[in-house]
Structure 1
Amino acid sequence: MPKIYIYFLSAILMCSFSIDIQAAQANLQILGVSADVKINIQKRLSTVIKNKMLIDTHVRSHINQTIKETLRALGYYEPNISFKLLPSSTLRKYPLLTVNVIPGMPIKIAEEIVILRGMARNDNDYRNLFRTGKPPIGSILRHDDYENFKNSLNHLALRKGYFDAHYDKNQLRVSVPQHKAFWYIDYNSGPRYHFGKITFTGSQIREDFLQNLVPFKIGDSYAAHNLEELARRLSATGWFNSVAVIPEMGKINIKRMVPLHGFLTPRTKNTIEVGLGSATDVGPHIQARWNKRWLNNKGHNFRIISDISIPEKNLKWTYKIPILKNPLEQYYLLQGTIKHIHLNDTRSDASAITVSQCWDYSSGWQWAIHLHGIYDHFTQGNEINTAMLIYPSLTVDHTRSSDTLMMPVWGDSQHYSLDWSHSFWRSYTNFLIFKAHNVWIRTVKEDHRLIARIGLGWIMTKQFENIPPDLRFFAGGENSLRGYKYKGIAPQDATGKLTGASKLATSSMEYQYHIYGNWWIAIFIDLGAIMLNTHQDAIHSGAGCGIRWHSPIGPIKFDIARPILQHNTHNMQLYIGLGPEL
């Protein structure tokens, strides 16, 4: 009997406790403040709101205090806060606790006394911060404005080497009766530190090559962006798997010189890649790469690329020799190519050797001068010929973009080349070839992109029949005139076979619209003129639509297009492509 009584009493207590909890639960509604203030309050009360434990007196006191603290940080020191509890009903599962807030008169900034001492007085970055980083007199006080300004001072000191910076006075004074706030900051930056000697460990590359990558000199004023630039340069060489450049603050001398240490890990010396793929232009193909990222302590690089498809077979090797003076931006290239082409009316077996000197500037401009030696036995249409060419050339490239080259919000690229062959240096034929290609990408507004392309080419020669097919102009294909087969557009001889062209002009306009996630749709029109002389009527055009997928390995596009404005034998063409748009 006693056991039954105990169980019964326990059940009553449990029911009572459950009823008390249910009665203590309610939803919360805050009135009288802006949406951003309400969100801030709700974040600070998230645990209370989630558990709905709002009726308890202590919880109400906590809510009251939280609202006051939130409003005080925004310049409202005298709010009026009242609570009202609405009972539950058929429309509400829980009671509703309404908090009505009257913020009151705000505190406004009446005075800002900000004093800058030390060497930073002549620093333009500090001057700009003092000019633009403070709120105007008369604006409503925000505590975060004050803290953000101080954080900016501290951040700038670390970025620019004012390691002894401190506050002689730091005070935010508030007069609630007058509704006025007063900033008072007396900031002393102290002296500016300088770069000391930099040492490297873990590198397989000679020390003098690494030192010539350093974008500053010993004794230059310390600046964090120079450390970041050095790390970028070291990574961009391709020699290292990991790069870390760290100031050694514990070794600073009395002259305030900050020594630096670069920790480097060599990259894998040899990499081999094999890939299978299929492109609309050349069909199924296999590609193999062997990349020897560094051969010696001077950072020489060797690469072999083999690309085999049914119409084209290509074997190319490249030997890169960095120049000690500036091993990242200046280098020599030795290149060799063996190429076999069996495409449309072109048959070609060619070998080429090229010697180049290149300048890749950090501004995005790339200049290069080349000396080419080419042997090509070819058949183009009904012409059979053998060409032995020796000629110099000049190429200029420039690319810029908003972020990534893969699918940028905006960007543009320029490419120009000039080739000059002459019998004076024992070349087989005389010619001058100019080529230009430009791409512009712009986002008109969110989810709307425009891509425009222009291509020009001109061969000046009196011996066009001696020009190898690889130097002549053909149009058609994924990166040329869509709606036509790959290199299927060119002037024809009397038998209807393609001869190639000496003059080329192409343009393209593409509109893309973002539909969902990484998917876009596109419509486009391509125009082009390809001819042997300016009297020929050789204008072609194509139009179509497609899909763009911004994949992890780059943009993948699926296009379908057909010719317009003329009758021809080209059917609807399908294109599948992968790679950056610039």
Structure 2
Amino acid sequence: MMALMLFSLVARAEEVDLRLRGLDGELKDNTQVYLDQLPAIEVEQFPRFRQQITTAVTDSLQALGYYNPEIELVQSEQNPARVTVRVTPGEPVRIRTLNVQLQGDAETDPAFAELQSNFAIRQGQVLHHDNYEKAKASLLSLALRRGYFDAAYRTSRVRVTPWEKAADVDLSFDSGPRYRFGELKVDTDRPVERLLNPLVQIEPGEPYHASRLAEFSRSLSSTRYFKQVEVLPMVAEADEQYRVPLSVVLRARADNEVEVGVGVSTDEGPRTSVNWEKPWINSLGHSLTTSLKVSAPSQDVTLVYKIPRGHPLEDYYTIQGGYQRLDQDDTVSDRLVAGVHRWNIQQNGWTRDVFLRSEYESYTQGEQEDESFLLIPGVSFSRTRVRGGLDPHWGDAQTATLELSEPWWGSDTRFVRFWGRSKWLRTLTEDHRLLARAEQGAVWVDNVEELPPSLRFFTGGDTTVRGYSYQSITPLDENGDRLGAKYATALSLEYDYRFAPKWRVATFVDSGTATNDYRDDWKVGTGFGLRWLTPVGPVRLDLAFAVTEEDTPWRLHFTLGPEL
């Protein structure tokens, strides 16, 4: 008897399993969501929940424009807990008339005409209530972005006639007046007038647009003078001419900031860096950055003093100086550098650097011991375009430098030197990417040994020809010591496949040469690698084989940092 009672209790507690039939795609998915939101239904409660189940199915279909469904609930005789929900959706309701009326200043605003031409709902479409709400929201969103702060709907109505399979949509949108930019109200802890004036591209009385504020805020943040930037419209303080004052709150960064970093690469091994920055020296926007980088083969200290000339992001000077010690393979070099650079960032994204640099270098290259003093004017152009943030799906980067030296202005050597590189990244399909790189260097000089090692060309290593050690591809002297060359070319093609959200595998082929006459053999490295996407950029580990060498030696390459 006790067992029978327990069995009866279990049976009564068994929950109904609703099985949906007759729907596909979006209709099925939406209806299942509505059914899943119903409370648990015990078998004995099913008769009382019939109407609630039917209502849930009806509501899910009406949301997608189906107002005439046929719904049948069939309870299995063999298993009462199994209930089949059979649905025939019927013909959808379509938008018979769509009446959108604009009032206020938006009536003559071309942006609203463009939005209406691409409206989320159209006459003849199935009445999808989510699209209807998106269409309404798009008008309000555009109005707020363009300064119609009093905008509101006077009418927003949908009349559905299910037996006619038709819906009539009426929207009456009153934008009110368009507000305009007013005066700036600046709250700052430093004198910023000289810096702020070139950055302000907003004139009082111009029509309001949120994107102009966002651009202004980004420019202020990008100067790196401020730790806090807030640019907000004070709509409540608008005057009778609908001019909105702009509140600008700026708080300067600390007087001194120090950043310590560590890293590792196959070319250099472990390395550490220390950056000391004084982002704000005076009211003119001068700043100073000092960096120290130390690895086993190289020690480098650099000072950069920045002087804005006009727009602090687009037009400025830098005075640079530094010392580098290099002791790697057949090169030992002590190098002192000082220079003046004029930077200009153009609207098309290109950065131009016109410079005059002086260099003193004392060096040993193989068996050659020498020193040189050079005064080098030159120009450099660079541009980087990336889409996709830390894990880009599209991008390219170009850089090119032309520099020269002449004895008649005090240099030890006459030469003209060019170096350029271009990288491309393209996504073929969602998980497949191609990366390509081309690099070319050339120096026109009577004898390459007249140049210090820093101006000769070498190739090979993590970022040029994998499978070879750093700068190992170069002409050799009779003792097998590296000399450096007049020309260098490096090419690379890589294919990546993403097999997990943060992981990719890669295969690649690199080729390059450093030569004085292009009669030397080209070196080829190929292999495969692993890519791990981290918050600080991709980590790359490659196993590369130098296929043009005897016995095909292999080499591991490890790098951290952006791909472009």
* TM-score, scaled relative to structure 2: 0.93
Maintained 8 Å contact 1:28/1:54: no
Aligned counterpart, 1:552: 535
Question: Higher mean Cα deviation, 159-168 or 368-377?
Answer: 159-168
Paired residue for 1:410? 394
Task: Give the aligned partner of residue 40 of structure 1.
Answer: 30
| Preserved CA contact (<8 Å) 2:372 2:452 | yes
Match of 2:235 in 1: 249
State the partner residue of 1:347: 332
Residue 544 of structure 1 and its aligned partner are, at CA, apart by 1.7
Q: 1:574 aligns to what?
A: 556
Residues in 2 aligned to 1:54 and 1:38: alpha-carbon distance in whole angstroms: 27
Partner Cα separation in structure 2 for residue 389 and residue 487 of structure 1 = 23
Say whether 1:170 aligns with 2:161. no
Secondary structure at 1:376 match in 2: strand
Determine the structure 2 residue equivalent to 1:486. 470
Q: How does 1:47-196 map to 2 (within 5 A)?
A: 47-48=37-38, 50=40, 55-87=45-77, 89=79, 95-196=81-182
Indicate the larger mover: 220-229 or 355-364. 355-364
Distance (Å, rounded) in 2 between the aligned partners of 1:414 and 1:503: 19
SS class of match (1:487):
coil
Q: Distance in 2 between matches of 1:392 and 1:50?
A: 80
**Structure 2 alignment gaps of length 5 or more:** none
CA distance in 2, matches of 1:53, 1:298: 79
- Contact preservation (8 Å) 1:391, 1:419: yes
2:440 to 456, 460, 468: 456
**1:289 maps to 2:275:** yes
Cα pair distance change 1:240/1:289, threshold 3 Å: same
Question: Do structure 1's residue 540 and structure 2's residue 523 form an aligned pair?
Answer: yes
Task: Tell me, yes or no, if the aligned pair for 2:41 and 2:49 is still in contact at 8 Å.
Answer: no
Partners of 1:407 and 1:581 within 8 A in 2: no
Identify which of 3, 22, 31 aligns with 2:13.
22
Cα distance, 1:113–1:421 mapped onto 2, change above 3 Å: same
- Evaluate the alpha carbon distance shift between residue 245 and residue 362 of structure 1 in structure 2; reply closer, same or farther with a 3 A threshold: farther
Equivalent AA in structure 2 for residue 516 of structure 1: A
What per-residue deviation string (whole Å, max 9, x for no partner) do you get for residues 279-324 of structure 1?
211223332222222223333221211122232221111111223x
Distance of aligned partners of 1:567 and 1:245 in 2 relative to their CA distance in 1, 3 Å threshold: same
1:272 matched to which residue of 2?
Answer: 258
In structure 2, distance between residues paired with 1:144 and 1:54: 36
Compared with structure 1, are the counterparts of its residues 551 and 53 closer, same or farther at alpha carbon in structure 2 (3 Å cutoff)? farther
Deviations along 1:436-477, one digit per CA (max 9) or x if unpaired, are 101111111122111110000110122432211101101111
Contact 1:109/1:138 (CA < 8 Å) preserved in 2? yes
Query: Counterpart of 2:19 in structure 1: which amino acid?
Result: Q
Alignment-derived partner of residue 3 in structure 1: none
Matched residues in 1 for 2:330 and 2:10: separation? 91
Of 187-196 and 364-373, the range deviating more from structure 2: 187-196
**Partners of 1:41 and 1:442 in 2: CA distance:** 40
> Helix, strand or coil: the match of 2:164?
coil
Equivalent residue letter for 2:461: G
Q: Secondary structure at the match of 2:224?
A: coil
TM-score, scaled to structure 1? 0.91
- Show CA shifts across 1:138-162 (max 9, x none): 2222222222211111111001111
How far did 1:578 drift? Answer: 0.7
Partner in structure 2 of residue 219 of structure 1: 205
Aligned to 2:485: 501
Aligned twin of 1:378: 363
Asked if residue 31 in structure 1 is aligned to residue 24 in structure 2, the reply is no
AA at the equivalent of 2:264: S
- Code of the aligned partner of 2:52: H
Secondary structure of the corresponding residue to residue 511 of structure 2: strand
Report the equivalent of 1:200.
186
| Alpha-carbon distance change, 44 to 263 in structure 1, aligned in 2, over 3 angstroms | farther
Within the candidate set 404, 407, 427, 1:423 is matched to 407
Change over 3 Å in CA distance of 1:352–1:100 after alignment to 2? same
1:310-349 CA-partner distances (Å, limit 9, x unpaired)? 32221111111223x3112222111111111222222211
How far 1:493 sits from its partner (Å)? Answer: 2.6
Deviation at 1:87?
4.1
Whether the aligned pair in 2 keeps the contact of 1:88 and 1:95 (CA below 8 Å) is: no
Deviates more, 1:276-285 or 1:416-425: 276-285
Give the Cα–Cα distance (whole angstroms) in 1 for the partners of residues 539 and 497 of structure 2: 15
Q: 2:277 and 2:78 mapped to 1: Cα distance?
A: 73
The 3 A distance-change label for structure 1 pair 146 and 276 is closer
Q: 508, 519, 540: which is aligned to 2:503?
A: 519
**Mean Cα deviation higher: 106-115 or 51-60:** 51-60
Quote how far apart the aligned CAs of 1:181 are. 1.6
Which residue of 1 is the match for residue 416 of structure 2? Answer: 432
Alpha-carbon offset, residue 56 of structure 1: 3.7
* Matched-pair contact (CA < 8 Å) for 2:448–2:484: no
Secondary structure at 2:149 match in 1: coil
Report the AA paired with residue 100 of structure 1: R
Give deviations 1:215-273, integer Å, cap 9, x for gaps.
32222211111111112111111122232211111100011111111223332332223
Q: What secondary structure does 1:212 align onto?
A: helix
Please report how far the alpha carbon of residue 531 of structure 1 lies from its aligned counterpart in structure 2 after TM superposition.
0.8
* SS of alignment partner, residue 229 of structure 1: helix
Taking a change above 3 Å as real, the CA distance of residues 338 and 175 of structure 1, as seen in their structure-2 partners, is same
